Amino acid sequence: MASYIRAGFGFHIGQDFDRVTCDTLIELAPKEYAMPGHVIGYIAGDPASRLAFMRSARVRVHVVKSALRHDD
């Protein structure tokens, strides 16, 4: 089952925040601690991003559960 952050929803990376412009694949990490109603996951970074925190190959993000959609 694949999970995605739905277009227009945001995510946190520490104190930084950004939004996705299209549905973005996320690898969920359910065993990692997240605030109530949120999940931790990993998304692909973008070396050409205007945001320094997004330039890694793999980025750990904190996302509200309602921002996710799942494909069966």
Per residue in 5-46, pLDDT (tens digit) is 999 999 999 899 999 999 999 999 999 999 999 999 999 999
Which residue range forms the structural domain that includes residue 22? 2-71
As for how many domains the chain has, the answer is 1
Please write the tens of the pLDDT for every residue from 45-60.
999 988 999 999 999 9
Candidates 57, 56, 22, 60; CA nearest to 39 is: 60
Residue type for position 67: A
Distance CA 55, CA 9 (A): 19
pLDDT number for residue 1:
85
